[in-house]
Chains A and B, each alone.
Chain A
Amino acid sequence: MEVRVQHEDFDAGAEIARMRLARRDTGAVACFIGQVRDLNEGDEVALMTLEHYPGMTEKALQNIAEEAGRRWDIHDALVIHRIGELKPAEQIVLVIVSGAHRGEAFAACEFIMDYLKTEAPFWKKEQTASGERWVDAKASDDKARDRWHQS
């Protein structure tokens, strides 16, 4: 399980290939990419700034990836999250999970994203035509995380 928090962009294709070729018993690689949208709550977004809590953010991501490894029979997981200033259509986050079969890989990938969105200390600030604003947390994200409590 590897996590990276970085300013630089990432190459999803290269990371997927690396995970795919790492083990010959890997039969499935699930991947999620999040990117900056140019529109949020009706306003055009010109720039997004991502702040984090150095130290805790990395620790939280590591814990989430390891928890996914305990819950599902997967081979490996990689989480890359960018920080700093990002423009619309730039990549924000990458999650890749490898395993023997797709079911476990898909589930673990979704679990990691749902927990990342609600537990990992990142904060988004948007620049729109009417000024800067901090993005509010969504109740739907809490719900998405909470459904994993039952399983």
Chain B
Amino acid sequence: MQTIRILYFARLRESLGLSGEEMPLDQALSVQALMALLAARGGQWQQEFDGCRPLRAAVNQTLVANGSMIHAGDEVAFFPPVTGG
């Protein structure tokens, strides 16, 4: 089965209680569509992924817009706006 790897960082990781997971992926989908799937899990997932809280996404370690497509084998990451430096 084809999968994608999803990673969660910082406040998001703590809120979800999960740093990463594998998810089966039959066909390509947008970042936005993946966020809707995650929000549909309810509870904390809905709060984090319903679009109200600022969230950034990366696909294969590059920042992307929500319309970007995700394909099997990709590494997807979600995280709050960055605060380094």
Residue tally, chain A, CB below 8 Å to B: 27
Cβ distance A140 to chain B, nearest Cβ, rounded Å:
12
Residue B9, interface by CB 8 Å:
yes
With both chains docked as a complex, state the minimum distance between the C-beta of A137 and any C-beta of chain B, in angstroms. 3
Determine if A134 and B82 form an interchain contact, defined as CB atoms under 8 angstroms apart. Answer: no
Interface-central residue, B58, B61, B79, B84, by most chain A CB under 10 Å: B84
**Binary flags per residue of B51-85, CB closer than 8 Å to A gives 1, else 0:** 00010001001110000000000000101111111
The one of A59, A120, A136 in contact with B84, judged by C-beta atoms closer than 8 angstroms, is A120
A125 to B11, CA, bound (A): 9
Contact B61 A122 (CB under 8 A): no
Pair B84/A53 contact, Cβ less than 8 Å: no
**Does residue A127 face the partner (Cβ distance < 8 Å to B)?**
no
B85 cross-chain contacts in A, Cβ below 8 A: 34, 81, 92-93, 113, 116-117, 120, 122
Asked if A69 CB lies within 8 Å of chain B CBs, one says: no
Interface size for B (C-beta < 8 A) is: 17
CA distance A136 to B53 in the complex (A): 12
Name 21 interchain pairs, CB-CB below 8 A, sorted by A: A50-B84, A51-B10, A52-B84, A59-B61, A60-B63, A81-B84, A93-B84, A93-B85, A116-B85, A117-B82, A119-B82, A121-B58, A122-B82, A123-B9, A123-B10, A123-B11, A123-B79, A123-B80, A123-B82, A124-B83, A137-B54
Across the A-B interface, the 5 shortest Cβ-Cβ residue pairs = A122-B84, A137-B81, A123-B10, A56-B61, A117-B85
> B interface vs A, CB < 8 Å?
7, 9-11, 54, 58, 61-63, 77, 79-85
Q: Which residues of A contact B (CB under 8 A)?
A: 34, 50-53, 55-56, 59-60, 81, 92-93, 113, 116-125, 134-137
